[in-house]
Amino acid sequence: MKQTHRSSLTLFRTLIYIFLFGLVIVTIIPIWLVLVNATRSTLEIQQGLSAMPSTHLFDNYGILEGRGLNLLRGFTNSLFVATFSTVLAVYFSLMTAYGIVVYNFRGKRFFTSFVILLVLIPLQLSIIGFYQFMSRIGLTDNYASLILPVIASAGAVFFGKQYFESVVVHDLIDAGRVDGAGEFGIFHRIMMPIAVPGAVTLGIFAFAAAWNNFFNAFILISSIEKYTLPMLVQLMRGDVYRTEYGAIYLGLAVTIVPIIIIYLIFSRYIVNGIAMGAVKE
């Protein structure tokens, strides 16, 4: 009796592992196709799927360049926008969160629930009003219109609040005050160093969000030399590149490889970070 029960459990577990492995294949295959095909020539790609990389990486780059697609410039533009967005989002979100956690000001409860509420508001739907406003103050086709709004990132403030509630030590703040440090001095010199792990988590999400942002850039940026990577991806779908599969995959690979590298290094922060943003309500 006991024996059959155990062997049926073993069978069940084996089936589960097969299922989990199948899901891994489904998850990896599209990514793997991009990476491998970026190194293969269009001819090779059309001859069939392959799991093995080839030697045409630089040829593919040459094809993109030859058709006027400046991948390097797009990469630099994206890096610029994403880096500045990350710095602003992390710094100001932690600052706001610190203000909520450490001080008891009037309206604090209202403000806190308001921030949580904002997470549920589809603000992207006001893009037209945003565009028209930016156009009036001359900020269309300007990275400022992509970067500055991240100062008010509700989700990031919420995460920062959860984080500070678990790391803020009031004795340290008091000690800082006794030593004559100002309130912002305490935030910068005492609390920020303690908050580095939280800042890293926040930073990764902010970076990925800015790096991947297509819709806003597509609406707000118009001159081609300012195009970010997702906008170049959109261009690559055009007729000029229709049959240049190798070159297209290279373009796609350039957009996803930096994120994959960041993920490989910081995956632990990320997986824990998602859970923290939602659970400890």
Q: Give residues 41-80 in contact with another protein (rule: CB under 8 A).
A: 45-49
Mark residues 128-157: x for contact with another protein by CB under 8 A, - for none: xxxxxx--------------xx-xx----x
| Residue corresponding to tokens 């094809």 | 63
Residue range at the interface with another protein (CB under 8 A); choices 53-61, 67-75, 79-87, 205-213: 205-213
User: How many amino acids of this chain bind another protein (CB under 8 A)?
Assistant: 99
- Does residue number 4 form part of the binding site for another protein (CB under 8 A)? no
Question: Which residue, chain included where needed, has tokens 């589960």?
Answer: 16
49 contacts 33 by C-beta, under 8 angstroms: yes
Q: Which two tokens stand for residue 247?
A: 């070159």
Non-local CB neighbours of 194 within 8 Å, separated by 6+ positions:
167, 169, 172
Q: Is residue 234 part of the contact set for another protein (CB under 8 A)?
A: yes
Among 7, 14, 27, 76, binds another protein (CB under 8 A): 27
Binder among 2, 30, 110, 223 for another protein (CB under 8 A): 30
Query: Residue 54, by phi and psi: left (phi above 0), alpha (psi -120 to 50) or beta?
Result: beta
Cβ neighbourhood burial of 105 (10 Å; 0-12, 13-18, 19+):
exposed
The single residue among 126, 185, 261, 265 that binds another protein, judged by CB under 8 A, is: 126
Pick one of 7, 11, 12, 65: the residue that binds another protein (CB under 8 A).
Answer: 12
The residue among 29 and 196 lying less far from another protein, judged by its C-beta, is 29
Distance, in Å, from the CA atom of 162 to the CA atom of 281, rounded to the nearest integer, reads 8
